[in-house]
């Protein structure tokens, strides 16, 4: 098969090794390493139960702990019902700000997250119909600062915490995988 000059600009899926570390079917992942000048984008298909890495049988058991990013992020949840595209077909829980204002997402929604804005915990509560998640981070590399102090330590065993891209502030990269999620994975 002949390779075309621009084949590298068509992204469909990720390597099996990377997919095995993800809790969702990854449609695509791009960042500044994919090609110069590219911001970070992730696209996931979310099914009725965790796929791949999570050692759980159902949604709702594991959270992505509270965190912030250096750059703005769009966190998009898209329903897949062509008859009612606003119906997410799922329930997703998201806490916003330092006061942890609770939101339940049940409609196709774009969550706009300003730079350095505390958000999370985030978790999928239930999925009645598969839906799509798209994240748009407005920077070529992933930045995330875990905000563990926002959550009682007794809840940490159910939360993913990531520190990445803050080495210039003295925060070493770290990935905390919760005990209740099964065998450790690198996830990112």
Q: How far apart are CA 45 and CA 121, in angstroms?
A: 20
pLDDT score at 83: 97
Which positions ≥6 away from 63 have C-beta within 8 Å?
Answer: 120, 121, 122, 123, 155, 158, 159, 160
pLDDT score at 183: 60
Q: How many CA atoms lie within 13 A of 116 on its CB side?
A: 1
- Domain housing 71: 26-181
Structural domain includes residue 151: yes
One-character DSSP codes across 20-51: TT-SSEEEEEE-TTTSTT--EEEEEEE-SS--
Task: Specify which residues 102 forms β-bridges with.
Answer: 95
Structural domain includes residue 60: yes
Q: How far apart are CA 108 and CA 78, in angstroms?
A: 5
* Burial (CB count within 10 angstroms: exposed 0-12, middle 13-18, buried 19+), residue 99: exposed
pLDDT score at 16: 73
Structural domain includes residue 9: no
Q: How many CA atoms lie within 13 A of 41 on its CB side?
A: 13
- Residue 53 sits in a domain of what CATH number? 2.60.120.10
Per-residue pLDDT of the chain (188 residues; tens, 9 = 90+): 568 998 877 888 777 776 666 666 778 888 888 888 888 888 888 888 776 555 667 788 888 999 999 999 999 999 999 999 999 999 999 999 999 999 999 999 999 999 999 999 999 999 999 999 999 999 988 899 999 999 999 988 888 899 999 999 998 999 887 777 666 655 54
Cis check: omega of the bond before 12, within 30 degrees of 0: no
Count of domains forming the chain: 1
Structural domain includes residue 31: yes
pLDDT score at 51: 61
């Amino acid at each position: 098969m002949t390779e075309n000059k621009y084949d590298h600009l068509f992204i469909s899926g990720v390597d099996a090794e990377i997919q095995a570390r993800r809790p969702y079917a990854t449609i695509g992942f791009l960042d500044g390493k994919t090609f110069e000048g590219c911001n970070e984008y992730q696209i996931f298909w979310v099914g009725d139960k965790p796929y791949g890495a999570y050692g759980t049988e159902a949604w709702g058991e594991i959270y992505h702990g509270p965190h912030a990013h250096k750059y703005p992020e769009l966190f998009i949840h898209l329903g897949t019902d062509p008859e009612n595209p606003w119906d997410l077909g799922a329930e997703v829980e998201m806490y916003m700000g330092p006061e942890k204002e609770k939101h339940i997402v049940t409609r196709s929604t774009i969550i706009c997250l300003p730079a350095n804005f505390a958000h999370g915990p985030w978790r999928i509560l239930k999925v009645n119909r598969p839906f799509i998640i798209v994240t748009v981070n407005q920077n070529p590399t992933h930045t995330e600062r875990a905000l563990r102090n926002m959550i009682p330590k007794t809840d940490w065993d159910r939360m993913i915490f990531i520190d990445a891209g803050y080495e210039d502030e003295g925060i070493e990269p770290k990935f905390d995988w919760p005990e209740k999620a099964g065998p450790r994975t690198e996830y990112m």
